[in-house]
């Protein structure tokens, strides 16, 4: 056999298409990560403004709202306590406290949301203050833990849970076929995934909390988040495998890794990301998981309701599609065997 014939025999059309798909996935990975991270810039960062008088507060808001590029989205609030409460509720990312009797104002930030975001606020507001011959004192009201460098542990924990979810689903596909043979097998796979998710959620929370002291907050809450996140990603992967076979694993990686990780708000929180990644991040599992983990660790769970609903939706829809695909496949298999049964000779009486 000639070498060309050997190549044709070794590399089937299906294999060639899969290799092309892998190349496309690789290029998408490079484009997504570089596109999200190569030039971070602040955009409409929510900022509370407190001033002794309403006219001064309104002038400050108007000045900050008209900065080139719209880096801030300022709003006047009634007092420092309200501003602090809005930071803790994750309604704003910082607060400017204007001092009418002196030349030093205060900027309240929350580095637990990510050091890049609090530093961006310091730079933008600091330039405005410097232009007015005023100084700025920074007060971190929700600092990241000593073991949580730059507030990134929540992101890495969420990414780790996501990796476990799609690898568990992929392992089930490799060991017993990408598509479940029948609804019962689909239920078994979902049951195995649920058990894995519970264990993975607990172990991840224990490692990030008591063992490494990277994240404060409730271990129970982190455990619940981890179990839901792992199951949601795993159910999504099982659903895509049910729809597309082995290719579904690549589609899951596309959604979770290629699009989900750079838009998760980890290295750069949402206000620093380009529009596309800022828009899709909250709707994908890594973004919802990262936001919730930070809420649990530094904000007493405030603001976590929406992201948890996002994860629950992925889990329910993924499980439902997995079951529907298995049911449809079983129906097709029964239909294919029916004519043969009808054509079989009937025994005589």
User: Average pLDDT for residues 76-102, to the nearest whole number?
Assistant: 95
For the cut 80, the answer to whether the pLDDT of residue 205 exceeds it is yes
Q: How, if at all, do strands 104-109 and 94-97 pair?
A: antiparallel
Distance CA 133, CA 239 (A): 59
Q: How, if at all, do strands 72-76 and 94-97 pair?
A: unpaired
What confidence score (pLDDT) does residue 176 get?
66
For the cut 50, the answer to whether the pLDDT of residue 347 exceeds it is no
Distance CA 252, CA 272 (A): 26
Confidence of residue 349 (pLDDT cuts 50, 70, 90): very low
Three state DSSP letters for 76-98 = ECCCHHHHHHHHHCCCCCEEEEC
Neighbours of 217 (CB within 10 A): 23
Contact 238, 249 (CB under 8 A): no
Contact 206, 273 (CB under 8 A): no
Q: Name the DSSP letter for residue 306.
A: H
Distance CA 280, CA 251 (A): 16
User: Average pLDDT for residues 7-22, to the nearest whole number?
Assistant: 80
Q: Any idea which of 210-224, 238-252, 320-334 has the lowest mean pLDDT?
A: 320-334
C-alpha atoms less than 13 angstroms from C-alpha of 224 in its C-beta half-sphere: 12
Confidence of residue 330 (pLDDT cuts 50, 70, 90): low
Q: What percent of the chain has pLDDT over 70?
A: 92
CA distances from 326 to 40, 131, 192 (A): 44, 65, 16
What confidence score (pLDDT) does residue 15 get?
80
pLDDT digit string, tens, across residues 98-121: 998 899 999 999 999 999 999 999
Name the phi and psi angles at 72, rounded to 5: -125, 150
What confidence score (pLDDT) does residue 111 get?
95
Burial letters 241-257, b for 16+ CB under 10 A, else e = bbbbeeebbbbbbbbbb
Contact 196, 228 (CB under 8 A): no
Q: What percent of the chain has pLDDT over 90?
A: 81
* Residue ranges of the chain assigned to CATH 3.40.50: 45-140
Distance CA 3, CA 18 (A): 22
Distance CA 214, CA 126 (A): 30
Annotation: CATH topology of 45-140: Rossmann fold (3.40.50)
For the cut 50, the answer to whether the pLDDT of residue 329 exceeds it is yes
For the cut 90, the answer to whether the pLDDT of residue 185 exceeds it is no
What confidence score (pLDDT) does residue 134 get?
94
Strand partners, 72: 45
pLDDT digit string, tens, across residues 126-162: 999 999 999 999 999 999 999 998 899 999 999 999 9
């Amino acid at each position: 056999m000639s070498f060309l014939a050997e190549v044709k025999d070794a590399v089937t059309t299906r294999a060639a298409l899969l290799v092309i798909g892998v190349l496309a996935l690789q290029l998408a990975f490079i484009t997504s990560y570089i596109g999200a991270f190569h030039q971070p810039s602040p955009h409409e960062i929510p900022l509370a403004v407190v001033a002794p008088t309403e006219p001064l507060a309104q002038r400050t808001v108007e000045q900050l709202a008209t900065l080139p590029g719209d880096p801030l989205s300022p709003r006047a609030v009634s007092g420092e306590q309200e501003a602090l409460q809005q930071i803790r509720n994750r309604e704003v990312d910082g607060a400017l406290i204007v001092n009418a009797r002196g030349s030093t104002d205060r900027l309240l930030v929350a580095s637990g949301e990510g050091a890049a975001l609090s530093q961006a606020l310091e730079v933008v507001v600091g330039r405005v203050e410097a232009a007015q011959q005023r100084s700025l004192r920074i007060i971190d009201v929700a600092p990241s833990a000593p073991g949580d460098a730059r507030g990134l542990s929540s992101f890495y924990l969420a990414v780790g849970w996501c990796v476990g979810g799609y690898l568990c689903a992929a392992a089930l596909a490799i060991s017993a076929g990408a598509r479940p043979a029948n609804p019962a097998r689909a239920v078994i796979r979902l049951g195995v995934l649920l058990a894995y998710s519970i264990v993975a959620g607990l172990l991840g929370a224990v490692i990030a909390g008591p063992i490494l002291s990277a994240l404060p907050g409730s271990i129970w809450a982190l455990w619940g988040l981890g179990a839901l996140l792992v199951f949601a990603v795993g159910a999504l992967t099982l659903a895509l495998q049910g729809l597309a076979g082995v290719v579904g694993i690549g589609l899951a990686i596309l959604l979770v890794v290629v699009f989900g990780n750079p838009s998760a708000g980890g290295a750069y929180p949402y206000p620093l990301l380009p529009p596309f990644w800022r828009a899709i991040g909250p709707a994908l599992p890594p973004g919802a998981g990262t936001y919730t983990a930070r809420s649990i660790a530094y904000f007493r769970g405030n603001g976590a309701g929406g992201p948890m609903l996002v994860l629950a939706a992925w889990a329910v829809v993924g499980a439902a599609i997995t079951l529907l695909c298995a049911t449809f496949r079983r129906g097709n298999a029964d239909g294919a065997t029916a004519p043969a049964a009808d054509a079989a000779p009937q025994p005589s009486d």
